[in-house]
Structure 1
Amino acid sequence: MEASARYPPFQLGKSRFEQTTFYGRFRHFLDIIDPRTLFVTESRLKEAVQLLEEFQHGTLPSGVTNEEAIIHPDTNQKIFMPFRMSGYIPFGTPIVVGLLLPNQTLTSTVIWQWLNSRSHNACVNYANRNATKPSSTSKFVQGYLGAVLSAVSIAVGLNVLIQRANQFSPATRLLLQRFVPFPAVAGANICNVILMRHSELEEGIHVLDSNGEVVGSSRIAAKHALLETALTRVVLPMPILVLPPIIVSMLEKTAFLRSRPRMVLPVQSLVCLAAFGLALPLAISLFPQMSEIETWCLEPEIARATASKTVVYNKGL
């Protein structure tokens, strides 16, 4: 099959997959989170960025195919490897495994909740935010501390409640403790997104018309962007922190793991990795990255500034 048949014409800033459908967004984000992009060399990255610049200025050399042009490069300001979406699964899975370890102590709960994405997630949220407006370091620190406190408070509080609940047998208590990370992570994820990107609510984010021109900065669009991102952060930990405890508890009853207790951790790690690999593209595919909103819903000055009935904004990842 020729490349022209397999690859549609390249469009700057647009995906090769249809973004109005969930399946199209799912295929798009499978490319975005592909961990193979972590190993792209600096020279190959510069070549890709150069191709984009030449395409933008209409000076693309002859012989460049759509297959070459649609390679996903990073931005000119490269994101640190662990905080890219393509690094989310490989760098996040060990933390998820630690969260789901049985017989957690108060100290281990605090440590894993701090590592779990209150540090990792905070940086991922910040690195993949809508960056049309600069944000200060002090706001990043405030958001980070708020996210850490919320995660640790929820996790420790639930663990204490379970330990003090005398109506539960030791086995039931152990099983319930395995599910504690989900409400802690889901609740903290919401706080994380809001606190780390609070400047967007204060200053607004750029909205663009059908020609890609900036119409203005909208705080209403920022609210929509943060709400959509927060919802994905609630959906994301569901399969990761709910399915592995169920699956592992069932596998622990098998003859294989009963006779090989040392294999429980490797098996749990593989289950977490599989759940993470499925959950991430499903969650971030819920909404398009470039979301659309009707102009009349926005601030009056923005509605007056364009004849477009709808505008788009980057909700971030």
Structure 2
Amino acid sequence: MATETTPAVVFWQWVNQSFNAVVNYTNRSGDAPMTVNQLGAAYVSATTGAVVTALSLKALASRLPPIASRFVPFAAVAAANCINIPFMRQRELKFGIPVTDENGNKLGESVNAAQQAIAQVVVSRIGMAVPAMAIPPVIMNALEKRAFMKRFPVLNAPVQVALVGLCLVFATPLCCALFPQKSSISVSGLEKELQERIRETSPETTRVYFNKGL
């Protein structure tokens, strides 16, 4: 199998991470706007960090056994999610996201809740990639040793696409459901100032709720 050139890796990673950046921004928690400068800085940081990570892992792949090198794309995707999502949602990490009581009444904004929300989204995104990027490499490694695949190498790409598509059909909804869209956190897990404010204004509230985003 031909190895992708560095320019090809850079281009396709940039395209992929640009798409992910848009998805991560539009599916953030809350509706607080970002300035053009903030959005531009977040985009450049997210895409550059992800591309550099992919190139580093590509260089590492050349020194790994064939079966191990097949999992490098998954490692790149996982690492990219850990970079892209926090950067595109960095405003939440700085200023917090809205938290409400069980009736939807806004009680304030919490950075701690934002950290939990973003961590949950990162785990979900990595989980989505696990079946599609971990199962097909094992199957393809076995199939490529078979006579019919050696006789018809043109089947390689269609079989890989079919396997990835089949995995995504099940993995995407399952991993989106790993954590509830309306997540919660104990009041004691919030910032002290917000805890005090909630205990003054809503003393019966022990848990607050927030939209974790996607």
Q: TM-score, normalised on structure 2?
A: 0.88
Counterpart among 183, 186, 198 of residue 302 in structure 1: 198
Matched, 1:293 2:185: yes
Equivalent residue number for residue 112 of structure 2? 220
Q: Which string of whole-angstrom CA distances, capped at 9 and with x for unpartnered residues, describes residues 57-80 of structure 1? A: xxxxxxxxxxxxxxxxxxxxxxxx
Equivalent residue number for residue 113 of structure 1? 13
Equivalent residue number for residue 150 of structure 1? 49
Identity between Structure 1 and Structure 2 (%): 37
Equivalent residue number for residue 175 of structure 2? 283
Matched, 1:139 2:139: no
Cα distance, 1:195 vs structure 2: 0.4
Matched, 1:238 2:130: yes
Structure 1 residue runs of 5 or longer lacking an equivalent are 1-100
The one-letter code sitting in structure 2 at the alignment partner of 1:308 is T
Cα distance, 1:102 vs structure 2: 4.8
Equivalent residue number for residue 25 of structure 2? 126
Alignment of 1:72-111 (within 5 A): 102-111=2-11
Equivalent residue number for residue 199 of structure 1? 91
Cα distance, 1:207 vs structure 2: 1.0
Cα distance, 1:302 vs structure 2: 3.3
- Asked if structure 1 preserves the Cα contact closer than 8 Å seen for 2:50 and 2:84, the reply is no
SS in 1 for 2:108: strand
Q: Which string of whole-angstrom CA distances, capped at 9 and with x for unpartnered residues, describes residues 221-250 of structure 1? A: 111111211222222222222212111222
Equivalent residue number for residue 261 of structure 1? 153
User: Which structure carries more helix by proportion?
Assistant: 2
SS in 2 for 1:312: strand
Q: How far apart in 2 are the matches of 1:190 and 1:197? A: 11
Q: How far apart in 1 are the matches of 2:55 and 2:31? A: 37
SS in 1 for 2:107: strand
Alignment of 1:1-20 (within 5 A): none
Q: Residues 313, 219 of structure 1: CA spacing in aligned structure 2 closer, same or farther, 3 A cutoff?
A: same
- Asked if structure 2 preserves the Cα contact closer than 8 Å seen for 1:296 and 1:303, the reply is no
- Asked if structure 1 preserves the Cα contact closer than 8 Å seen for 2:182 and 2:212, the reply is yes
Q: How many corresponding residue pairs?
A: 209
Q: Which string of whole-angstrom CA distances, capped at 9 and with x for unpartnered residues, describes residues 283-305 of structure 1? A: 22211110011223222223433
Which one is further off, 273-282 or 248-257? 248-257
Cα distance, 1:135 vs structure 2: 2.2
Give RMSD over aligned pairs. 1.9
- Asked if structure 1 preserves the Cα contact closer than 8 Å seen for 2:61 and 2:72, the reply is no
- Asked if structure 2 preserves the Cα contact closer than 8 Å seen for 1:132 and 1:205, the reply is no
Q: Which string of whole-angstrom CA distances, capped at 9 and with x for unpartnered residues, describes residues 254-305 of structure 1? A: 3332222111111111111112222212222211110011223222223433
Q: How far apart in 2 are the matches of 1:254 and 1:138? A: 54
Q: Which entry has the higher C-alpha Rg, 1 or 2?
A: 1
Q: Residues 133, 258 of structure 1: CA spacing in aligned structure 2 closer, same or farther, 3 A cutoff?
A: same
Counterpart among 159, 168, 180 of residue 58 in structure 2: 159
Cα distance, 1:144 vs structure 2: 1.9
